[in-house]
Structure 1
């Protein structure tokens, strides 16, 4: 691992009506190509605070109440500006529920028309989204995880031949690699090592996974081979994000730090490299969300537990 110079500085803060809950990957950024971010979102309890380019924050509550990790509904889908609830899907609660909460966690678009959502049972639900209209359907259920799903990510670059284009992670640290299409095919499993994998990304056939011990591990999406391992944070990693145009990787953790890395693959040997580009301390803040705000990774935003704003960073 090599080091590179600093390249970011704090620019502004966006006020939230509520603070951010301590949930993995608790920040979303709607970022159209070659345009400024369209919306920012963070969860507090059962409510999503949605910040658009104009007007006050919009509050999108969960139908039927519940708690941050347990609600009677699995997922809700809105128009981009949050104005219209397009679809919701009820979570199947077992007749004799186990001691742990029942919840949905981890969501990602997959392929051209699917959205995948993880659950506390380990199942991944695949929703078919029509190009027009609101006739969303549950098309498939992927049942390979034995522990609650933590995160889901789809390929953000050009997937090499025979490499998966979707990865799912769970509380045991197990990763499942999938090929998407009319039907989803399991290509391989990377066994867990007893440490939760809280966040994953996928770029050019490289799976980047963040763990509860503060490590980032890079795996081959085609073979499941471990290619690199970095002790990136002193405490639990809560968020990873990937800039598809450049291969920049963003990580945020309980240790109050956000780091920017650069992933690359040697064209001759195929070796995977990770380079540290920038470190930022968000003082006295347990970072729970971190996302790039543009496809090149020149800007990013951060949320923190009990922090009632979104912090934005740009080029130094």
Structure 2
């Protein structure tokens, strides 16, 4: 006879003043000293303790006084290896938040202004390898990618021109950038040089999401064609190429 034990997990419902909104993204941001749950929506950016119990910060996105046809929202969330969380906006700005080890004294330390179109995704290098200088990438609706060195003063390393359509998702691992596009293609870049090493017709329709396994570098792609595909990315030291 096989007996099983069912454990009941109570889910915490986040209730906040600003929840009457459309949410674009939610992410647990792991920082050296704490973990925060970050939500990006039409109205702004909310940061909670990791269990959702306490909202520690609220940042409203700038809403134009006169009604416009363009939507206003926040989208794209990534935590750097230091105490910063980056969140994109519909104006193309990327807000850099300085996160203290504890408490609510969260501030906007910098605004990155290289994009002219809404931010679609942001990724930080998820590997344990810290030898690569460039460790953050931002993407927008036009397909432009910006590669950054994070820190007290963020430095733009490369700005890559649009590649024929929206960059819908981006990931970074060991100095390698994988970018998924609305065309169904995946492009793989070297973060140090900004050059394209791999171009794959991965899907027949819009790529919805990418994810990377930080230990192995395996890439998962999902698209509107209903397929999930797993790819292996690695750096060939003999030929100094990414495959």
Which residue pairs with 1:205 in the alignment? 175
SS at match of 1:89: strand
Residue in structure 1 matching 2:106, options 136, 141, 155: 136
**Quick check: 1:119–1:148 contact (8 Å CA) kept in 2?**
yes
Q: What does residue range 279-290 of structure 1 map to in structure 2 within 5 Å? A: none
Which residue pairs with 1:58 in the alignment? 13
Displacement of 1:267 = 1.9
What CA deviation, in whole Å up to 9, does each residue of 1:1-27 have, x standing for no partner?
A: xxxxxxxxxxxxxxxxxxxxxxxxxxx
SS at match of 1:58: coil
**Quick check: 2:41–2:75 contact (8 Å CA) kept in 1?**
no
CA distance in 2, matches of 1:72, 1:217: 29
Displacement of 1:90 = 1.2
SS at match of 2:57: strand
**Quick check: 2:80–2:136 contact (8 Å CA) kept in 1?**
yes
What CA deviation, in whole Å up to 9, does each residue of 1:238-287 have, x standing for no partner?
A: 111111111011111111111111111112222111xxxxxxxxxxxxxx
- More displaced 10-residue stretch of structure 1: 70-79 or 114-123: 70-79
TM-score, normalization: structure 2?
Answer: 0.85
Which residue pairs with 1:235 in the alignment? 205
CA distance in 1, matches of 2:55, 2:161: 38
TM-score, normalization: structure 1?
Answer: 0.66
Relative contact order, CA 8 A, sep 6+: which one is greater? 1
CA distance in 2, matches of 1:138, 1:150: 20
**Which structure 2 residue ranges, 5 or more long, are not aligned?**
1-7, 25-39
1:183 aligns with 2:153: yes
CA distance in 1, matches of 2:135, 2:78: 12
CA distance in 2, matches of 1:235, 1:104: 25
Q: What does residue range 156-171 of structure 1 map to in structure 2 within 5 Å? A: 156-157=126-127, 158-161=129-132, 163-171=133-141
CA distance in 1, matches of 2:100, 2:180: 33
Two-structure CA RMSD over aligned residues (Å): 1.9
CA distance in 2, matches of 1:128, 1:141: 11
**Quick check: 1:118–1:152 contact (8 Å CA) kept in 2?**
yes
Which residue pairs with 2:166 in the alignment? 196
Give the length in aligned residue pairs. 220
Residue in structure 2 matching 1:119, options 66, 75, 89: 89
Displacement of 1:72 = 5.9
CA distance in 2, matches of 1:133, 1:66: 26
Which residue pairs with 2:53 in the alignment? 83
CA distance in 2, matches of 1:185, 1:94: 29
- More displaced 10-residue stretch of structure 1: 152-161 or 85-94: 152-161
